[in-house]
Amino acid sequence: MTPENLIVERVEPGIQVIKISRPKALNALNTATLEELDEVLRSASSDASIRVVVLTGDGEKSFIAGADITEMQHKTPQQATEFAGLGHKVTKHLELMPKPTIAAVNGFAFGGGTEMAIACDFILASANAVFAQPEVGLGIIPGFGANVRLAKFVGLARAKEMIFSGRRVKADEAVAIGLANRVFPAEEFMARVLEVAQQISRNSHSAVACAKRILNESSESVGLTSKLDTEARAFGGLFGGGDQLEGMTAFVEKRKPGFEGL
């Protein structure tokens, strides 16, 4: 299958770069894109010739602007729960595959964008990177793992602040709070990311894979599936009308939402 919404490149022997490419929607993730990502990551996971996977966004402006709001707008609770489940399948590949995954965040990483990034082993940010979990402004909660993973990067109180407020976090602050490891100038971003990937790929593949497994086992990856399932059900439970429909319709109609009780 040739993906329509991804550009998959072998930049160096051993380094696979996956670019999300939906320029009209700032690389927002719809079902088709998530299915393609699932397929590409599944095959990367078992391909011994790939030593490091880099996830980034096509273009200069956006890494991933979140899940596709236009597609989500009219989902039922059941469909939204399944959609979150598909997002979780992808994030579990990134987190658990036996090779390092690097999020190269080169612009907007909103909602599902930050969630894909925090499922990777670590984040490298371009100077123009902006992170946010703006879901509550759409009448929903994050559905691709932020409720489970964000605190691992920034601590519980900062994760709560980001998720409750939806505020934007720029690259320098992202490094200061532990969300991103390093920030590189935009003009040399991919070259610097590839230097990091090369440094990893020159090491023992089996030792790096073993380190990843042990680091994951000694952190919150234990019990991951049941925590993500709980999130998917809570996410789906907010669909089918009310603030969710108002929030997403307001986005599509380019106006401010009028949430219940406001």
Catalytic residues: 115, 135
Q: Please give the Cα distance from 181 to 150 (Å, whole number).
A: 14
Residue pair 145/119 in contact (Cβ under 8 Å)? The answer is yes
User: What residues contact residue 95 under an 8 Å CB cut-off, 6+ apart?
Assistant: 101, 119, 120, 121, 149, 216, 221, 224
SS3 state at 8:
strand
57 vs 111, beta carbon nearer ligand CAA: 111
Nearest to 29 by CA among 117, 93, 101: 117
Q: Which is nearer to ligand CAA, 68 or 243 (CB)?
A: 68
Contacts of 131 by beta carbon, 8 Å cutoff, 6+ apart = 105, 109, 110, 113, 114, 117, 162, 168, 169, 170, 174, 179, 180
Residue 199 C-beta: closest distance to ligand CAA, Å: 32
Residues at the site binding ligand CAA, with contacts judged by CB under 6 A: 25-26, 28, 65-70, 87, 108, 110-112, 115, 134-135, 138, 142-144
Q: How far is the CB of 50 from ligand CAA (least distance, A)?
A: 27
* Least Å from the CB of residue 164 to ligand CAA: 14
What is the identity of the amino acid at 76?
A: T
Closer Cβ to ligand CAA, 67 or 171, answer by number:
67
Task: Work out how close the CB of 128 gets to ligand CAA at its nearest, in angstroms, rounded to a whole number.
Answer: 12
Residue number with CB closer to ligand CAA (111 or 257):
111
Give 43 or 70: the residue with its C-beta nearer to ligand CAA: 70
- Strand pairing of 130-132 and 169-170? antiparallel
Minimum CB separation from ligand CAA for residue 254, in Å? 7
| C-alpha–C-alpha distance, residues 132 and 225, integer Å | 24
Rounded CA separation 234/22 (Å): 28
Instruction: Work out the burial of residue 214: count CB atoms within 10 Å of its CB; fewer than 13 is exposed, 13-18 middle, 19 or more buried.
Output: exposed
